[in-house]
A and B are shown apart, each in its own frame.
Chain A
């Protein structure tokens, strides 16, 4: 079970991480993109954190939708529509929920990744957000199906996400700005995959904090 407080905590922790890693994500994007990923994500989550206090009495679905809308209207770039759509889509499968079962959490992640695939028309292996997100979700599903708690599953999810980030160093980008570099994109980790790995790290920390 994840409570609304945990969901809000997760968003807050993720926002803090985007502030903390703003320069790092920007540096990764300077290597293979246009050097704005950390700036974009930080701008979006700063707006989200200003919005959060007004969302306390909303249901989880409305909270996630509001976060998504805020990201869409403040981040810009490729990551704005992608992260924004992911949060909005995750919200739509949690209609009216004040608490989430493990299955709800998994459905939310799956809707989210579906939203990113729909908007960005990418598949796994193109050096994008998907390369950390898909393995993370797969690992969470596997861990839950083996009878583990969500905290343990999110730990496995985060680990898989970082492995996905490592994997992005070995492949050529075929989507997004980095694709213009062709072979020169090899050796660099994808900024979007990295920011997504922090999302699973934030989810894990929120779950751990609640002590379950």
Chain B
């Protein structure tokens, strides 16, 4: 393992210190907690809190700010934050209109956020939650815990955040977030695994000739291993899976997000995007807006995911609404 770290036990903490030192105008750390909140706390709106393990930077702290999140709770690397941390975030951001928790569909995240919501409700804070599950690689059946929440979660932050900024009620913000979740789909691929500092070695082995399809965002193995192919062929495969699930028809409008896993250069992400746009054009699906970059990473994994979000008039307007955060500006 070769990394810029001082102490494997202190990676999360030192990263948070570095973030706050870099961007004090955007984020403030709650003293004594691993929680980042908006520096300019806005009143009179529903507050939105998200989180999950660390290791997904810029998620989630990078999306705290105007038009997106009010608080982010980064747990230990790839480990859900504990209920007391989430509870602290909820208390800090609540401005009287309630708090929406955006949770990714993982057993740990769900249980920890659920316990935090119980604590907050006991103190009279109105809490609602949504669970993102955009990953089409995982079968949504009785035999799994359901699809995982992956990069599509960022678009939930963006759109629910914009809705909250309009002064909408918690019920309305919740409904809009649910609409995004119902219409967003993602699938990812890894070329090289990632190394959790405390584990000291990669999460799985992958030879130079192989790729891991259906990868999650925590360095866990994917659903299928195949010989590496050309970029266009990989995109064909991922898009096939996404489109089969989403079933868009000619004339539909979508947002596209090409997300890098942490160690894939923009050059390669743009090559992937090129083929994604070709496929959508062939199908007569109109691309309303495209995002290319690292939004939801897996430490130093080489890989990428493709996200499509089917849009209606409301989602289009909210997608373009102003956002000003460390890692996402509109």
Contact = CB atoms under 8 A, between A and B. Distances in A.
Contact of A76 (B75, B145, B148): B75
B112 A179 contact: no
Given A175-B107, A177-B107, A181-B221, A30 B80 contact: no
Contacts of A72: 82-84, 115
A53 to B, nearest CB: 22
A172 B143 CA distance: 9
B203 A81 contact: no
12 contacts: A30-B204, A35-B220, A36-B77, A39-B198, A76-B80, A77-B80, A82-B111, A176-B107, A177-B106, A177-B218, A177-B220, A182-B143
Interface in A57-90: 72-82
A36 B299 CA distance: 14
Interface string A138-179: 000000000000000000000000000000000010111101
B81 to A, nearest CB: 6
Contact of A36 (B111, B199, B216): B199
Contacts of A182: 139, 143-144, 223
B199 A33 contact: no
Contacts of A26: 199
B138 interface: yes
Main SS at interface, chain A: helix
B144 A179 contact: yes
A81 B220 contact: no
Contacts, number: 111
Contacts of B106: 78, 177
Contacts of B220: 33-35, 177, 180
Given A76-B75, A182-B139, A35 B145 contact: no
Contacts of A78: 80, 106-108, 111
Given A43-B76, A76-B76, A174-B144, A34 B219 contact: yes
Nearest to A44: B82
A180 B80 contact: no
Given A72-B83, A76-B75, A119 B111 contact: yes
A40 interface: yes
Given A73-B83, A73-B84, 4 more contacts: A34-B218, A34-B220, A35-B219, A39-B198
Contacts of A114: none
B78 interface: yes
Contacts of B216: 34, 177, 180
Which size class do B's interface residues fall under? 35 or more
B145 A39 contact: no
A35 B139 CA distance: 22
Q: What 6 pairs across the A-B complex have the smallest Cβ distances?
A: A81-B111, A78-B108, A34-B218, A76-B79, A77-B108, A179-B144
Interface of B: 53, 75-85, 106-108, 111-112, 115, 137-139, 142-145, 148, 196, 198-199, 203-204, 216, 218-221, 223
B196 A35 contact: yes
Given A76-B108, A184-B221, A40 B76 contact: yes
Contacts of B204: 30
Contacts of B112: 76, 80-81
Interface string A166-202: 0000001011110111101000000000000000000
Contacts of A43: 76
B82 A180 contact: no
Contacts of A81: 83, 108, 111-112, 115
Nearest to A74: B82
Contacts of B108: 76-81, 177
Contact of A179 (B79, B83, B137, B143): B143
Contacts of A36: 76-79, 196, 198-199
A79 B139 CA distance: 24
B269 to A, nearest CB: 24
A25 B216 CA distance: 21
Contact of B223 (A120, A176, A180): A180
A80 B82 contact: yes
A127 to B, nearest CB: 11
Contacts of B221: 32, 181, 184
A180 B76 contact: no
A120 B219 CA distance: 23
Nearest to B135: A180
A77 B79 CA distance: 5
Nearest to A26: B199
B199 A180 contact: no
A30 B218 CA distance: 10
A66 to B, nearest CB: 14
A180 B115 contact: no
Contacts of B81: 76
